[in-house]
Amino acid sequence: MSELDLSVNIAGVTFKNPVFTASGTFGAGREYADFIDINTLGAVTTKGVSIVPWEGNKPPRIAEVHGGMLNSIGLQNAGLEKFIQEDIPFLRQFGTKIIVNICGHTAEEYVSVARELYDADVDMLELNISCPNITEGGIAFGTDEKALYDVVYDVKSFARQPLSVKLSPNVTNISKMAKIAADAGADALSLINTIVGMKIDVHTRKPVLNNVYGGLSGAGIKPVAVRMVHQVRTAIPYIPIIGMGGISSGEDAVEFLLAGASAVSVGTANFENPRATSFILQGIRDYMTKYGFSSLNEIKLDE
Ligand SMILES: Cc1cc2nc3c(=O)[nH]c(=O)nc-3n(C[C@H](O)[C@H](O)[C@H](O)COP(=O)(O)O)c2cc1C
């Protein structure tokens, strides 16, 4: 049987396979190293990194719901300095690509992170302008056309690595936001981030999350994510897309590839099964073998 080619090129970076981890669900990989061989991943997308440490929101900030979970973590992280000193060397031990998810309260903060990473040994930046859990920055950029254009343009002007812009699904017209990001210089798009949701405890009659609202992720958001990938692929055929939202099997991943993604990121599924990425990668191989595909670009939607 001929070898399967799972490699994929996104914005000039060659990934050995299309299975990445989704930001915020995999740390910098330490928690998972006992469960999976990090060398087998196409890429690790780190959790959001800001220029200085962020404390995040007060608990409760996680809630299970049917078909997924809500989180209002608020991008807690130890800041860029610690990230550069500890996380990059840790990840560089492995034969996987490093995508750094960057966050900020202001455009200047995003730019500062990209500038500080100029000389860092990382492969791609992912601009998180879509976090629903912070009061300044985050989703405010992802839902405002001018702010989106400006922050992408500014970060792109200072970044050395290719830039993927992580779009918010909390908009009416995802293709329009995608076009704005592409026009401003995005090399790729990551979609989708979480969808704003809420859970109420009917016994206490209080919101479950301290932050009241949180981001919905997991199986329940997959059809929305697949639809958005397809819409953006149709609107902008040339831009590579990293698809995510509720992927927990090889067939889920293939659905995103068929919708037009070049690669996929796995988030919430890691919490249920820390070996989810390995299972998904094997599932893609099994699918290719079953249908006689030898490379990923043969997997095309029959429209
Ligand atoms: C606990 C948690 C933390 C997250 N943190 C980040 C983050 O730091 N930056 C980011 O861009 N997305 C973050 N996300 C969003 C995920 O990367 C992903 O876009 C989303 O969860 C959809 O994928 P999934 O359904 O496979 O989880 C987070 C999601 C979860 C559940």
| CATH code, 147 | 3.20.20.70
Residue at 153 is within a domain: yes
> Which token pair is 290?
């079953």
Of the pLDDT bands very low, low, confident and very high (cuts 50, 70, 90), residue 114 is very high
145 assigned to some structural domain? yes
pLDDT at 253 over 80: yes
**Structural domain containing residue 53:** 8-58+74-196+215-298
Q: Which of 19, 23, 76, 266 to mutate to test the pocket of ligand 1 (most atoms within 8 A of CB)?
A: 23
CA of 276 to the centre of ligand 1 (A): 15
**What's the pLDDT score for residue 143?**
87
103 among known catalytic residues: no
Q: What is the pLDDT of residue 3?
A: 86
Question: For 176-203, what is the mean pLDDT?
Answer: 97
The confidence score (pLDDT) of residue 134 equals 65
CA distance 91 to 26: 12
Which residue's CA is the closest to the ligand 1 atom numbered 22? 245
Tokens of 249: 């099997």
- Asked whether residue 180 is domain-assigned, the answer is yes
Residue 210 covered by a domain:
no
State the average pLDDT over residues 175-191.
98
Q: Which of 25-34, 199-208, 255-264 has the lowest mean pLDDT?
A: 25-34
Q: How much is the average pLDDT of 34-40?
A: 96
Asked if the bond preceding 89 is cis, omega within 30° of 0, the reply is no
Q: What percent of the chain has pLDDT over 70?
A: 97
**Cα–Cα separations (whole angstroms), residue 245 to 89, 108, 206, 218, 268:** 29, 29, 28, 6, 8
CA 3–ligand 1 middle distance (angstroms): 33
138 belongs to a structural domain: yes
> What sign results for the dihedral spanned by CA atoms 67, 299, 47, 41?
positive
| Average pLDDT for the chain | 95
Report the pLDDT averaged over residues 210-217: 96
State how far the Cα of 291 lies from the Cα of 278, in Å rounded to an integer: 20
Residues with Cβ within 6 A of ligand 1? 22-25, 47-48, 71, 73, 75, 101, 128, 131, 166, 193-194, 217-218, 221, 244-247, 266-269
User: What pLDDT is recorded for position 136?
Assistant: 65
Mean pLDDT of the 155-176 span: 96
Peptide linkage before 192 cis (omega within 30 of 0): yes
Asked, for residue 161, whether it belongs to a domain, the answer is yes
Q: What is the pLDDT of residue 214?
A: 95
How many structural domains does the chain have? 1
133, pLDDT greater than 70 = no
- CA 17/CA 142 separation, integer angstroms: 28
Instruction: Tell me the CA–centroid distance for residue 1 and ligand 1, in Å.
Output: 37
Inside any domain, residue 201 = no
Q: Supply the pLDDT for residue 139.
A: 72
- Rounded to an integer, the average pLDDT of 51-64 is 94
pLDDT at 175 over 80: yes
Give domain status of residue 1, yes or no: no
Catalytic residue among 43, 51, 122, 131, which? Answer: 131
pLDDT band, very low/low/confident/very high, at 24 (cuts 50, 70, 90):
very high
The more confident residue out of 226 and 140 is 226
The confidence band for 225, taking pLDDT boundaries of 50, 70 and 90, is very high
For ligand 1, pick from 19, 70, 139, 193 the residue to mutate: most ligand atoms within 8 Å of CB.
193
Closest atom of ligand 1 to 166 CA is: 11
